[in-house]
Chain A
């Protein structure tokens, strides 16, 4: 009788423990259906960033499921009442080498596989096209607690009287490599556009070039991703991606409106 009770307890514990990997994997399988997965990709390099995530996700999944199953099996197997005395083992040199070498190799793999995506986003700025690091489309100013964008005057100056300043709404052309300079007026902020998979800190005293190519016209969220003070939660913005020709019309209208007298 006592033996049966003990066996049932072993099975129950094992099943409970088994629920951890099963539910863990299940949430990831269903996440997209439940609307908990990534927002759509609207930038040229977004897919590359997501791939990095998926590579690491698969590596972690295999390791997680494997170790969990082993753990579950051990819990079931060694919870048996057994009169055998435990044996002292001094370890296994080969085994230790293997479980050090495999993670090291995986780390090296991760390090090398991310290089292209990193350089795509942070290093390979467009050298041709309408906007380059020397001649950016706009400057984005982060300050406690709003975003402001400044477009240059018709001569390309950012410090003239005829620059255009807009808070909150950042308008950019679609299907164009857009370069802008990111500045902060006070503390650290972070320019984060989830659909672009773009995140870049704004550092006071630095002019940081950033680039992206939006692939679809639409309105997208911009948020601050670096805790910047008590109003951090309200530091939001909006990216308006317009088709190329509409953007040109918009900018021309903005420039003309500078000299309106209404």
Chain B
């Protein structure tokens, strides 16, 4: 009898275990923002003051929320001026007619099953869309609210006086879906968090396997923009990185998701960057006599948001067509490229090397002499691009290379070249757009004929 009891108990336990196993769903851990530890440790006043650190964390949470509920604290005068940071991306994309219609088309393709089911009136057959919990919640609320006259009865009247039926409204919500910040944060935790980390510090769990390292957003510096003056990236710049990926790095293209989801990710990345930048300013300027107070927090927050708002003013435009790449232009570009700065050239050779393969002296000489290698903004050793490989990380079109040379690469020693002083034929002048095109055409020949520039000494690293 007792033996029987034991056996049935064991069976029950096995059944309970297996039912647990069936119900197991892997979940992303609940994230929380933590302070930028290395930055905090650099400020001795703050490093030892746990109270001030807690106060800082509280202030940041007040301004930016938590990973479960991220949101901007919007200043009254922003809202009066028609700028609501919580709808930053949505308003921005809506303002661009082509961008918004691409978004609607991509929603239509992604939610074709749901749209067909709504049209057919089969509301139970709707599939739950992936990574769009907010859309699903809105749909369920809408479904509970079908008017007494049925789905085709009038449901609401729009601001411009149009009458809309319930069914039209349901279709509209799927077609015009734009994710909330909270939804994008959970999407981020699924797709980006493991490399970029909860605060966007580039310190996620898979980051240490990667070379180059994932971007740390908290400095607000993004390498690839189409902007001059080291400005903060535009919405379009970040969106382009998401859709194109960055070739030869671990950053893949995310085209398999909808436009709306990617725009939403841009919004969330911008929130993380603004949060990190504000935090950085507050941490580095923290002084115990002043402490954290409303005025200095507000001042820094305004400063950072303003930088991001004005980004598109720095867009590099080029009116007219790409000039003809004549051999004179290529030869001139080559002269600029291969002439060192002290001899009045554009000094590309000092990093990219005489053959354009990235073996220049300023990048590699310090190490040979036992000194520190040149570092980028994030403290990683720089690796000048090997231009003969034909890998151009933010686009290979002439205009992309033009912008790259024009503005340099943010956070790296690659400087802004437009307006750089050179001396040619004994006269000093500054680099103009025509010179930049010459450089572009020369650089483009490097990946076609890799031997073209190796006239003196060849590859520095091979010579070692």
| Chain A contact residues, CB within 8 Å of chain B | 143-146, 148, 157, 159-161, 163, 165, 167-169, 185, 230-231, 234-236, 238, 257-262
Contact = CB atoms under 8 A, between A and B. Distances in A.
A236 B250 contact: no
A45 to B, nearest CB: 27
B255 A169 contact: yes
B256 A238 contact: yes
Contacts of B248: 143, 185
Interface of A is mostly: loop
Given A146-B253, A159-B447, A165-B396, A259 B390 contact: no
11 contacts: A146-B252, A160-B448, A161-B445, A163-B396, A167-B253, A235-B252, A238-B256, A258-B398, A261-B318, A261-B320, A262-B399
B445 A146 contact: no
A161 B445 CA distance: 7
Contacts of B253: 146, 148, 167-168
A157 B248 CA distance: 21
Interface of B is mostly: loop
Contact of B256 (A143, A159, A231, A236): A236
A260 B397 contact: yes
Contacts of A169: 255
Contact of B252 (A159, A185, A234, A257): A234
B322 interface: yes
Interface of B: 191, 206, 243-245, 247-248, 250, 252-253, 255-256, 318-322, 390, 396-399, 444-445, 447-448
Contacts of B206: 230
B444 A261 contact: no
Contacts of B445: 161
Contact of A259 (B250, B398, B448): B398
A261 to B, nearest CB: 5
A161 B398 CA distance: 9
A127 B254 CA distance: 37
B62 to A, nearest CB: 35
B29 to A, nearest CB: 17
Contacts of B322: 259, 261
Given A145-B252, A258-B397, 4 more contacts: A143-B247, A145-B250, A161-B447, A261-B321
Contacts of B447: 159-161
B255 A168 contact: yes
A157 B444 CA distance: 14
A238 B397 CA distance: 23
Given A144-B250, A261-B322, A168 B256 contact: yes
